Chain A
Amino acid sequence: MVAGAVVAAGVLAACDAKSEAQPLILATTTSTQDSGLLDVLLPRFAAAHKVQVKVIAVGTGEALAMGARGDADVLVVHARAAEDEFMAKGNGSLRLDVMYNDFLLLGPATDPAKVKGLDPVAALKRIAESGSTFVSRGDRSGTHEKELDLWQAAEVTPAGKPWYLSAGQGMGETARIATEKRGYMLADRATWLTLKQGLELVPLGEGDKRLFNPYGVIVVNQRKLPKVRGEAATAFARWLVSAETQKLIGEFGVDRFGQRLFVPDARPGPAPAAPAAP
Chain B
Amino acid sequence: MSPIAEGLAQAFSLIVRGDPGLLRVIWLSLWATGIATTVAMVVGVPTGVFLALRRFPGRNLFVTFVNAGMGIPPVVVGLLVFLLLARSGPLGGLDLLYTPTAIIVAQVIIATPQVIGVTIAGIQGLDERLVLQIVSLGAGRAQLYLKLVREARVAVLAALAAGFGAIISEVGAVMMVGGNIQGQTRVMTSAIVLETRQGNFAMAIALSIVLLVIALVINGAFTWLQQRRPR
Contact = CB atoms under 8 A, between A and B. Distances in A.
Interface of A: 138-140, 160, 165-169, 173, 176-177, 179-181, 200
A38 to B, nearest CB: 24
A11 B231 CA distance: 70
A177 B198 contact: no
A35 B17 CA distance: 44
Contact of A179 (B87, B184, B197): B87
B135 to A, nearest CB: 52
Contacts of B184: 165
Contacts of A167: 179-182
B87 A177 contact: no
A270 B98 CA distance: 46
Given A140-B198, A181-B98, A200-B87, A173 B182 contact: no
Given A140-B198, A200-B87, A180 B181 contact: no
Q: What is the interface of chain B mostly: helix, strand, loop, or mixed?
A: loop
A169 B175 CA distance: 9
B194 A139 contact: yes
Contacts of A200: 87
Interface string B169-192: 000000100011111101000110
29 contacts: A138-B182, A139-B194, A139-B198, A160-B183, A165-B179, A165-B181, A165-B182, A165-B184, A166-B181, A166-B183, A167-B179, A167-B181, A167-B182, A168-B180, A168-B181, A168-B182, A168-B190, A169-B194, A173-B180, A176-B179, A177-B98, A177-B179, A179-B87, A180-B86, A180-B87, A180-B97, A180-B98, A181-B98, A200-B87
Interface residues of B, number: 18
A80 to B, nearest CB: 23
Given A167-B179, A168-B191, A177-B181, 15 more contacts: A138-B182, A139-B198, A165-B179, A165-B181, A167-B180, A167-B181, A169-B175, A169-B179, A169-B180, A169-B194, A173-B179, A176-B179, A179-B87, A180-B86, A180-B95
B65 to A, nearest CB: 30
A200 B92 CA distance: 13
Contacts of A160: 183
A168 B194 contact: yes
B75 to A, nearest CB: 14
B197 A139 contact: yes
Contacts of A176: 179
A154 B194 CA distance: 27
A180 B191 CA distance: 21
B123 to A, nearest CB: 42
A177 B180 CA distance: 10
A167 B97 CA distance: 13
A165 B185 CA distance: 10
Nearest to B97: A180
In the A-B complex, list the 10 residue pairs whose CB atoms are closest, starting with the nearest: A166-B182, A168-B194, A177-B179, A165-B181, A180-B97, A168-B180, A177-B98, A180-B98, A169-B180, A140-B198
Nearest to A160: B183
B20 to A, nearest CB: 10
B77 to A, nearest CB: 18
Question: Which of B95, B180, B194, B197 counts the most A-chain CB atoms under 10 A from its CB?
Answer: B180
Contacts of A166: 181-183
Interface in B189-207: 190-191, 194, 197-198
B182 to A, nearest CB: 4
Interface in B53-91: 86-87
A180 B98 CA distance: 8
Contacts of B198: 139-140
A180 B86 CA distance: 7
B119 to A, nearest CB: 36
Contacts of B175: 169
Nearest to B95: A180
A64 to B, nearest CB: 17
Contacts of B190: 168
A197 to B, nearest CB: 12
Contacts of B197: 139
Nearest to B180: A168
Contacts of A138: 182
B187 to A, nearest CB: 12
Contacts of B182: 138, 165-168
A165 B198 CA distance: 18
